């Protein structure tokens, strides 16, 4: 089947009759951080070097939504529908209030500046989980002794959950939030690890889930059946909950992130280098919102 590298018959379960990769926008610099805003039917995504967040919708096409952005990377929405953003050059996690004001949620850990927050997810209890690799800073600018995975509680407390990642990057919860998948994008590791989320919101029993090749894993999402969609050098690789590679949605440019959108959450939006793509699927995204 053109456009797919099918490794298991089970891969066909995610495909719909109209599953065809469509290019929605091009001529951008480096796209990342897609998030679907259901209230309004549009997608927001970052162009990191352009220092912009773009808005794309079926009705209106592409427009600049915010500029500058602190070189924003990952985006998500919290349970109140507010935009949560990882800002590379501003080295902080920010929130956009209902009135449009942008406030810092976290910029330091232990009195040292964060590296450059990369990707972020919000759990249903309102806690915010994000990764802090040093991609956005020069080596001599790093103040943190490690590249942590953090949890930010609603009261503002920041807790380091894992300290043995080289380049922690994309992350996503299983549909029931009992597991957290975290990519390590270093060229030496290029793998995805999975952890059990404990009742006190810490991580336990970490193990290797999958090794990504070609390329490295970056952004990831899950569908309601617990299949993992990881970006990779050749497209979006789809894994069974067991870790078996089911197949690959091939993308002409290496994707850095993806998210499910549209009212039925059956469209996968893919940010890939200079372009934005989408593909309709039978599978349905699990992430809330």
Residues making contact with Mg ion (CB under 5 A): 118-119, 169, 218
Least distance to Mg ion from the beta carbon of 43, Å?
A: 17
Q: In sequence order, which residues have a C-beta less than 8 Å from that of residue 262 and are 6 or more positions away?
A: 36, 41
Least distance to Mg ion from the beta carbon of 121, Å?
A: 12
In angstroms, the Cα distances linking 70 to 38, 187, 204, 244 are: 25, 26, 33, 38
Looking at beta carbons only, is 30 or 159 nearer to Mg ion? Answer: 30
Looking at beta carbons only, is 47 or 218 nearer to Mg ion? Answer: 218
Looking at beta carbons only, is 51 or 118 nearer to Mg ion? Answer: 118
In angstroms, the Cα distances linking 95 to 31, 80, 240, 241 are: 20, 11, 33, 32
d(CA 246, CA 261): 22
Least distance to Mg ion from the beta carbon of 131, Å?
A: 8
Per DSSP, 198 falls in state P
The angle subtended at Cα 165 by Cα 247 and Cα 50, nearest 5°, is 75
Q: Judge contact between 133 and 185, C-beta under 8 A.
A: yes
Least distance to Mg ion from the beta carbon of 231, Å?
A: 8
| CA nearest to 91, candidates 45, 130, 36 | 130
Looking at beta carbons only, is 156 or 187 nearer to Mg ion? Answer: 187
Looking at beta carbons only, is 15 or 34 nearer to Mg ion? Answer: 34
Least distance to Mg ion from the beta carbon of 8, Å?
A: 27
């Amino acid at each position: 089947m053109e456009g797919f590298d099918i490794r298991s018959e089970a891969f066909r379960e995610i495909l719909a009759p109209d599953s065809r990769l469509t290019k929605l926008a091009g001529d951008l610099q480096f796209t990342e951080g897609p998030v679907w805003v259901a209230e309004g039917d549009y997608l927001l995504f970052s162009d990191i070097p352009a220092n912009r967040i773009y808005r794309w919708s079926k009705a209106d096409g592409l427009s600049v939504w915010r500029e500058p952005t602190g070189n924003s990377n990952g985006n998500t929405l919290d349970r109140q529908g507010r935009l949560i953003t990882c800002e590379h050059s501003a080295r902080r996690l920010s929130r956009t209030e209902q009135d449009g004001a942008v406030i810092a949620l976290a910029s330091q850990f232990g009195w040292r500046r964060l590296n450059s927050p990369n990707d972020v997810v919000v759990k249903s209890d309102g806690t915010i989980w994000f990764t802090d690799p040093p991609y956005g800073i020069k080596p001599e600018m790093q103040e943190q002794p490690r590249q942590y995975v953090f949890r930010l509680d609603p009261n503002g407390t920041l807790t380091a959950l894992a300290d043995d990642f080289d380049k922690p990057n994309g992350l996503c919860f299983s549909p029931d939030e009992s597991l957290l998948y975290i990519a390590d994008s270093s060229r030496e590791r290029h793998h995805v690890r999975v952890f059990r989320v404990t009742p006190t919101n810490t991580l336990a029993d970490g193990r290797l889930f999958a090794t990504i090749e070609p390329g490295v894993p970056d952004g990831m999402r899950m569908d309601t059946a617990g299949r993992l969609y990881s970006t990779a050098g050749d497209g979006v690789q789809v894994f069974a909950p067991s870790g078996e590679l089911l197949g690959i949605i091939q993308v002409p440019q290496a994707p850095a992130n993806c998210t499910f959108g549209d009212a039925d959450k059956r469209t996968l939006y893919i940010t890939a280098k200079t372009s934005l793509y989408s593909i309709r699927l039978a599978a349905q995204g699990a992430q809330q919102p």
